Structure 1
Amino acid sequence: MFNILVVDDEPLICKGLSSLLASSGISIGHIYTALSGYEALDCIRMEEIDLLVTDIQMGAMSGIDLMQHAKLAKPWVQTIVISAHETFQYAQMAVRLGAKDYLIKPLNSEQFLDSVRNVLLKMEKPSPSLDTFMAGLGENFRPEEPLPEYSALLNLLLTDPDAVLADGRWMQQLDDLKLRGPFFAVIKIKLMTVLPGSPQEKGYTLREQSLLRYAAMNIAQELLAQEWDFRAFYSPEEEITVIIQWDDPSYEEAASGQINRLDVLGRSLHFHIHKYLQLHAVIGISQILQGLSFMEVLNRQAAKAILWNREHSDHYVFYYGDFNWSSYTTDPSVEELHTHSNLIVQKAKEYIEASYAQKGLTIHEVAKKNHVSPNYLSYLFKKNTGFNLWEYVIKLRMEDSREMIMNTDLRRYEIAERVGYESPEHFSKIFKKYYGISPSELKK
């Protein structure tokens, strides 16, 4: 059963598409509707949404903006875009953000339902069991080595870039690989092939580990091919290593958002590897640096980020820049890590308590103020407070609005405005979901 969110600032379109979906015979659990990007984003944060169907032009937050925020919140949510404008620029931006289809209004009912069916059908592919996966490959199957003629060179580049850069033959091979940058990042993928909690506490055989790594490599390559310039290969530590590069124009296009994009990629990698292989993968993400001479630094950063899983065993995606390593002459102790984590959460709470009534407040804004990635902040906040970060924002907004309803004569739209909602209808919907009664019922 799939959950679908329909977003359009015209109520009749939302109602019409919802009715069409409800009578389509598609396996749908819930159909949610939203009349603005902000309302839709709240729904995505609070509900389990599989498919987002959104208009492009919707006032304060466009469909493109919504797609960007939705992808940062939950990278696996699929999107179909509907628009009254057959504009190449809009279509190009939508496709770049991962839209599965771009439909022009007025919509043809069958065309729309075919598009929805196609997207959901691809999502519905069953996840084979590990035993089935192993058996399907057969005893004689030998995984193909990715970039076999270049893997040794790429691994050397990550450990001794000066030696590679000083050798003309190796530089020619790098040129053959079109590894020119000038901006680079390194991602490491470590499969958790030891099964804690299993009866024998034993891992997989060497052959099984090899096959799982091969399968994970294929999943990673399929994801990366959608929007990244990358080279993926096996490293001696039994990990999958990915070098991502940007040329000057592509890096400058969204320089401030590239780390967020890497974070989204890391969570997508973990999500899909877990979905299809039923095992966790720890993802280590380096910073972005300019020049091949820094490849050893980037490799070390990604490896060090993976080690964080020892301290946070229930978390799987780590960005090196989330911790201020330069403040320590040696690797920080468990106590120092704990103190630092508490400080991040405390600062985040203080910022939220001062800014929760701000319209358009996002998790990414809170994270930016703390100089950490949204993914890591969300994890720490939940671990330390018991609340999802956005649940905490809603908690403060609802408690404040309840106080105003009970003790002032302010109208609903005035209260909605004061606690950060762009429409009284959106405010009422959140209020009723939180308290079980509407603002007007509480007032009575």
Structure 2
Amino acid sequence: MYKLLIADDDEWIREGMRRSIPWEEGGIRVVGAAKDGQEAWDLIQQAKPDILLSDIRMPFMDGLQLAGLVKAHGLDTKVVFLTGYDDFSYAKQAIGLQAFDYILKYEDNAKVLKAVRQACDKLEEERAVVEKDRKGHGLMVNKFYSDLISGAGNEATVERDSKLLDISFCGSLFGAAAIRMDGVERFLKPNKSEDLELLLFSIKNVCTEVLALQVNGECQAQVVHYNHRINLLFNLGLTDAERFRVEAKRISLAVLSAIEQFLKIKVQIGIGSPGEGIKHIPFSYEEALIASQMKGMANEQGIIFYEQVKHSNNSHQAILKKVTDYIAAHFHNENLDLKEVAETVHITPSYVSTLFKKYNDINFSEYVIRVRMDKAMELLVHTDLKAYEIAESIGYPNTQYFSALFKKYTGLTPMEYRQQHRK
């Protein structure tokens, strides 16, 4: 329903229009009727009507002055003037004040309703354009911060884009946080990616409202939808790392509490280390992701700093177990690669590769081959499957490639291996 305010010093006209015109049939609700311009202005500030249907000549403040106030205060209220036969000399002024239309006071009800309804249609059209622009700007801002987190771009492009988007930083100390959700299955239907996006949208809205109340001149925080999750990017005007931890924890606790209160979702927030300059942001985010995955290491409030886990072999082994469990469940997929596996634990492929080399003394691709070959050896000994069937079942649709790889790995062809190891 669009809100309409009627202003006219003639009570008969004012009340007649309010009561006799079927406004609701046009999706319009009358929110007030004023007897002069000053009363109308007071009602406009209170009720914020979409449409003002106003007489031009009124005491205390006439319709033109009233329209001037509407325009000066940046309101998008559409103004439709009511005129008498001798008021057309005001038409040029009305147009200058961006009045939508003007009609004779004594037109029949259908024409008055039509004029107001057309004003509603125009307002809806203009608001749609504004909303599209707002969303477009929001997407560009989110892309800007996403690029900072991913490490895309350089200082020159960041400086250029921040000016274009009217973004400024309060200092040179940056750090990131990652939010991990628990128990959200009840919100999601199988194969319904839009359910997850809707949930993330809700979390982002809650975070945005919280940050509006929590940030100050010395500490900025931005909500960033990136990597299929909601993240926080902190920027401090001070270079004190301890102060960063205090502020990051304060804001994160407020975010965590609001999410759990309004969305009934348990979350854990991992916070990366602070560092100088935008180049540090990707490293801090990587740390935040790792920290967010560490179940059982967060404090009772659900906050965990990377510094608490960076020297912990247990934390690295937990990540590796998730990776190896995923490989064990998906080795039959011929397109299984490092990028896909890394996405399941929300850390970069390079970090997964680093952990493999550090703890397994083998790289990722070699590990996948080993898992597949071990499975092939098992199937050769314990089943009667043909070589091509085994090859396909472990992710190698090309039988010749599988046979060559198997011989390189075991020193035997698949058939030789079966003959030697069957009792």
Which TM class, normalised by the smaller chain length? 0.3 to 0.5
When the two structures are superposed, what TM-score results if normalisation uses the length of structure 1?
A: 0.36
When the two structures are superposed, what TM-score results if normalisation uses the length of structure 2?
A: 0.37
> Relative CO higher for 1 or 2, CA cutoff 8 Å, sep ≥ 6?
1
Please identify the structure whose Cα radius of gyration is greater.
2
